[in-house]
């Protein structure tokens, strides 16, 4: 069935529509015929003249003030979250739990009261306990080391989504997303690209050994829309299926740009210093359900540079 026809009586409500993932989701949804309500923070100067888009200013801590935005024709993708500027600062606890837990709870209550047709929650694939093999959806969530406060707040939000799904029968999908990257994002990838293009040195700390499962933004958006199109409920890992270090990524970019290798300054690991890494996600379930096939890190980098 044509996507425009399939969605003509539905409205996609995207929270955090001013953020990296939310903005990309809104753009793709509009391209594929959705009517979209973009929920953006009150201080966000989000602008668009698309005829199928309605922009709503809101505060995740005051969801009840816009409860009339939701109705039974809505599908909600909850992308909004408080992401602290310093993951290790103890004072981030209050905001992480205020927005990512209590804000999510309030949103779920309204979604349930308004009888929305589908609720998609962006969770954190980096919250898994570290293992020596790719993690599957049944593995334990137990973040340690970096970003514990933020990741634990995302786990708590996920638990609430599961509760409303099982007890109140709210159709819900949880996407456990690994480390996203792509154009127009405030990440290491983007700052490194800008630096190398402008012949500015790039500093890699800890020997550039920090590694993660980096997933390109388009793959996340594709998976989101597939989960909605197929009305898939449950938990799905969304990653690239490959671990890669920041040093390896930088070497790839230097090669693609034909940049000066001397611009890369690698500070060695200190004696006894541990290397932080995030889990590697097994995305077999998403592949079986939707044919999910993420692009390689090299292809993603080349797409960013084009």
Per-residue model confidence as pLDDT tens digits over 155-176: 999 999 999 999 999 999 999 9
Look at 30-34, 184-188, 195-199 and tell me which has the smallest mean pLDDT. Answer: 184-188
Contact status, residue 36 vs residue 54, Cβ threshold 8 Å: yes
pLDDT at 78: 98
Strands 244-245 and 211-212: antiparallel
Beta-carbon neighbour count of residue 67 at 10 Å?
A: 15
What distance, in Å, lies between the first and last C-alpha atoms of the chain?
Answer: 33
State yes or no: pLDDT of 91 exceeds 90: no
Q: How far apart are CA 275 and CA 47, in angstroms?
A: 41
State yes or no: pLDDT of 15 exceeds 60: yes
Q: Cβ contacts of residue 212 below 8 Å, gap of 6+? A: 126, 178, 179, 243, 244, 277, 278
| pTM for this prediction | 0.94
Contact status, residue 89 vs residue 101, Cβ threshold 8 Å: no
Q: Of 6, 60, 57, which is closest to residue 35 (Cα–Cα)?
A: 6
pLDDT at 272: 64
Give me the mean pLDDT over the 111-126 stretch.
97
Q: Of 230, 249, 251, which is closest to residue 240 (Cα–Cα)?
A: 249
State yes or no: pLDDT of 282 exceeds 50: yes
State yes or no: pLDDT of 52 exceeds 80: yes
CA 221, 225, 228, 232 torsion-angle sign: negative
pLDDT at 1: 41
Q: Among 46-55, 225-234, 267-276, name the most confident range.
A: 225-234
Long-range Cβ contact pairs of 91-98 (< 8 A, separation 24 or more): 92/149, 92/150, 93/149, 96/149, 96/150, 96/152, 96/153, 97/153, 97/156, 98/61
Instruction: Give me the percent of the chain exceeding a pLDDT of 70.
Output: 96
- Taken in order of first residue, the domains within the chain and their CATH numbers are 3-178+215-240+279-294 (3.40.50.720)
State yes or no: pLDDT of 242 exceeds 70: yes
Q: Among 36-45, 115-124, 265-274, name the most confident range.
A: 115-124
Q: Which two tokens stand for residue 136?
A: 């599957």
pLDDT at 79: 98
Give me the mean pLDDT over the 47-69 stretch.
92
């Amino acid at each position: 069935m044509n996507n425009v026809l399939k969605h003509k009586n539905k409205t996609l409500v995207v929270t955090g529509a001013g953020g990296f993932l939310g903005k990309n989701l809104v753009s793709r949804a509009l391209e594929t015929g959705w009517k979209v309500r973009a929920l953006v923070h009150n201080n966000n100067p989000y602008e668009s003249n698309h005829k199928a888009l309605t922009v709503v200013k809101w505060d995740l801590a005051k969801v009840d003030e816009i409860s009339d935005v939701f109705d039974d024709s809505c599908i909600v993708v909850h992308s909004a979250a408080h992401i602290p500027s310093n993951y290790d600062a103890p004072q981030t606890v209050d905001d992480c739990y205020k927005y990512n837990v209590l804000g999510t709870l309030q949103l779920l209550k309204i979604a349930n009261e308004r009888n929305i047709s589908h609720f998609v929650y962006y969770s954190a694939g980096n919250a898994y306990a570290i293992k020596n093999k790719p993690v599957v959806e049944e593995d334990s969530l137990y973040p340690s080391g970096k970003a514990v406060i933020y990741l634990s707040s995302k786990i708590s939000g996920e638990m609430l989504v599961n509760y409303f799904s099982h007890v109140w029968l709210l159709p819900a999908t949880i996407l456990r997303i690994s480390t996203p990257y792509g154009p127009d994002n405030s990440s290491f990838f983007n700052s490194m690209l800008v630096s190398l293009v402008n012949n500015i040195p790039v500093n890699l700390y800890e020997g550039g050994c920090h590694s993660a499962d980096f997933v390109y933004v388009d793959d996340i958006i594709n998976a989101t829309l597939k989960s909605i199109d197929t009305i898939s409920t449950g938990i799905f890992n969304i990653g690239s299926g490959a671990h890669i270090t920041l040093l390896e990524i930088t070497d790839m970019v230097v090669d693609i740009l034909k940049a000066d290798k001397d611009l890369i300054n690698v500070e060695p690991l200190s004696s006894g210093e541990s290397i932080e890494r995030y889990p590697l996600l097994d995305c077999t379930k998403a592949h079986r359900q939707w044919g999910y096939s993420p692009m390689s890190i090299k292809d993603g980098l080349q797409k960013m540079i084009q």
